[in-house]
Amino acid sequence: MNDLKKMLLDGAGELGIALDNTAADKLLVYKDFLKEYNQKVNLTSIVDDEGIIVKHFLDSLTLLGEIGVAGSTSIIDIGTGAGFPGLVIKIAREDVSLTLVDSTMKKVRFLEEAAKLLSLKNVSCIHARAEELIRQKPEYREGFDYVTARAVTRLPKLSKYCLPYVKLGGEFIAMKGRNYTEELEEARRIVKNLGGEVWDIKEITLPNSDIVHSLIKIRKII
Ligand code: SAH
């Protein structure tokens, strides 16, 4: 096994995540494709192998334990960029039906090509702004089990963008850094007004690093 695959599998193990061999291989194909594409089109500033594996892949995979195992789970990833965390989750859980949204066309093109290269089914890549898409597609309103977002905007605004997509009983999971307290306090009223409730926060240290990330879990209760 090569070193990078080992880093990925060991890292997943450390996070308590089951990653199978096929998924690990696909992630490495995704990594190479991302690096190659990034030479022509700027998608990410993290371009080294270890950086992609730890800061993009393992970080995205921390969500896996939070996603229910029931069949026909739907996820929409808002402001996904080059596919984080959405496409990584899909590679590890191919049964999930995934919608990726980004307001930058070149990123959406990349996502379409990556999904094709990796033979992933049930992936829609949408070029739109989240706040406009919800008006254009009424079926998306309260249409998803999980809404995810990493590094898009601060939590008050992000909650306004994301919560309308969450099914009753579903969850919006925001991926944040170590310092989320202030924006979380600012977001509480908005979350409540949109029928949500902050019900769990997890802090996770990424393998091979001292990077601490947090998952802010907001459930749609009304
Ligand atoms: N989630 C990715 C990308 C973060 S960068 C990651 O963590 O690596 C933020 C991304 O959000 C950019 O790709 C940008 O195009 C997109 N974005 C910003 N505002 C948006 C909006 N209102 N609706 C949809 N996408 C948005």
Beta-carbon contacts of 221 under 8 Å, excluding residues fewer than 6 positions away, are: 168, 169, 195, 196, 197
Q: In whole angstroms, give the CA distance from residue 77 to residue 80.
A: 6
Residue 99: the pLDDT is 98
How far is the C-alpha of 207 from the C-alpha of 130, rounded, in Å?
Answer: 32
Distance from residue 103's CA to the centre of ligand 1 (Å): 7
Pocket test of ligand 1: the residue of 30, 34, 132, 152 to mutate, having most ligand atoms within 8 Å of its CB, is 152
Q: Ligand 1: does its nearest atom lie under 6 Å from the Cβ of 74?
A: no
pLDDT score at 70 = 76
For residue 160 and ligand 1, the question of a CB distance below 6 A is answered with no
Q: What is the pLDDT of residues 8-30, one digit of tens each?
A: 999 999 999 989 999 999 999 99
Residue type, 111: L
Find residue 204's DSSP bridge partners: 213
Rounded to two decimals, the pTM is 0.98
Query: For residue 73, how far is its CA from the centre of ligand 1 (angstroms)?
Result: 23
> Which tokens hold the place of 99?
């919608």
- Residue 71, pLDDT > 80, answer no
- Residue 72: what pLDDT? 87
Asked whether the predicted pLDDT for residue 50 surpasses 80, the reply is yes
